[in-house]
Amino acid sequence: MLYPKKVLELLTYIRNNYPDITIYIYATIFPPELRIVDSLVDGIHYTLHAPASQKDIDAFHAFQEFIKDRSGSYRAYIDPAVTQAINVIPERWIRLEIKPWILEGGNCLPPGETLFMYVEENPWWTDKNLKTKK
């Protein structure tokens, strides 16, 4: 979530105009805005990539603590190339996967899901700036 304010604007727009759509967001960091985003989405797919820094691992642990009493759907993906110790609490995650990262072009989405990727910074809301992958 490199552009938290823009993500919040886009999610608010989607929720206001398409209230029944299911939305998951992909995150690799835990900025304060992710707490607000959590209320606008159905779930969060949190990924820990290699090489992970201690800051990355601390953020993963903080997010895992944040979801402790939440009712959303949370997915965790951890690259097995992460060599540091990670305290994973499996019951907090609806899906927990430890496998090598699939590069762009690989089929990494569950059936029936579409991934929207932000590809340009300005203006973010035009169709040319969203790339979809099914």
Rounded Cα distance, 36 and 32, in Å: 8
pTM: 0.78
Break the chain into its structural domains and give their ranges: 4-10+30-101
- Residue 131's identity, in one-letter code, is K
- Check residue 3 and report its DSSP letter: -
CB of 132 closer than 8 Å to CB of 14: no
Rounded Cα distance, 84 and 132, in Å: 33
Comparing CA positions, the residue from 3, 99, 90 lying closest to residue 47 is: 99
Q: How does pLDDT run across 24-50, given as a tens digit for each residue? A: 988 999 988 899 999 999 999 999 999
pLDDT at position 134 is: 41
Element (H, E) at 76: strand 73-78
State yes or no: pLDDT of 127 exceeds 60: no
Q: How does pLDDT run across 67-123, given as a tens digit for each residue? A: 999 999 999 999 999 999 999 999 999 999 998 776 555 566 667 777 666 665 555
